[in-house]
Amino acid sequence: MASEITYAEVKFKNESPAPVVKVPPETKKPEHHPQKYPLWLPWLISLLLLLVCFALVVVLLVVLFWHSSDQPRVLQQQFSEWKCDSAVPQGTDRGWMCCPEGWRRFQRSCYFLSSDKMNWTESQQNCTGMGSQLVVINSKAEQEFLSKQIKRSPQRKNFYIGLFVAKEGPRQWVDKTPYNVTAAFWRKGEPSGGQDENCTVIYSPEKTVNNWNDSGCVWNFSRICEAAAVTV
């Protein structure tokens, strides 16, 4: 007879329970999807920036144009009668240069020789009100032209020009053109530097082109105004 096998569960005293290892639940990492932009968006931004830059340039040019054309526009508003002659030799497609009636043109400028008299400050204000300024002489050719004009009738002795001495400063022109002593046309012994002789006149009885005198600014003299000729 076959022997019977008996299984028995054996428990030992003081046996420690098997350790339980806790595994933290797996955390699901968030998925990162790259943000997608339309391919044309960078081109659109570049185009907008280019248009903004272009608009700024246009505005700047317009502002500069209006400032540079203030004097001719004021001159045109003040006078209704004009005298025009060809600005360039015949055969070209350029226009005409015009000066108000009674003004005299030389190159690209118009000149007004007054018959009435004012002090220097009033003379400059009067010229400004007509869209011009007291004359600024830049060349010997211009000086020669004016020296001939001041001898025409009616006879006047002194004409204010736009050269003056600022308070505690150097001699300067009304349009801020630097004064160049080598391109000045003083009479012999002038400028004499007398007290308060801070303004300049052209003295018409002088026979040469060197006909400038320094003068006080409070005397009432004639004046020469200058404005840019209007091209049409």
Q: What is the pLDDT of residues 13-63, one digit of tens each?
A: 555 555 555 555 555 555 555 556 677 777 888 888 888 877 776 555 444
Q: What is the pLDDT of residues 117-160, one digit of tens each?
A: 999 999 999 999 999 999 999 999 999 999 999 999 888 999 99
Q: In the chain, pLDDT over 90 holds for what percent of residues?
A: 48
CA–CA dist 184, 140 (Å, integer): 9
pTM over 0.75: no
What are the distances in angstroms from CA 15 to CA 10, 12, 18, 35?
11, 6, 9, 59
Q: Is 107 left (phi over 0), alpha (psi -120 to 50) or beta?
A: left
Phi and psi angles of residue 162, each rounded to the nearest 5 degrees, phi first: -85, 25
Q: Is 230 left (phi over 0), alpha (psi -120 to 50) or beta?
A: beta
CA–CA dist 178, 173 (Å, integer): 7
Confidence of residue 10 (pLDDT cuts 50, 70, 90): very low
Domain covering 116-221 assigned CATH 3.10.100.10 in the classification? yes
Q: What is the pLDDT of residues 52-101, one digit of tens each?
A: 877 776 555 444 444 444 555 667 777 778 888 876 655 455 578 899 99
**Domain extent listing, the chain:** 116-221
Residue carrying the six token digits 């391109």: 183
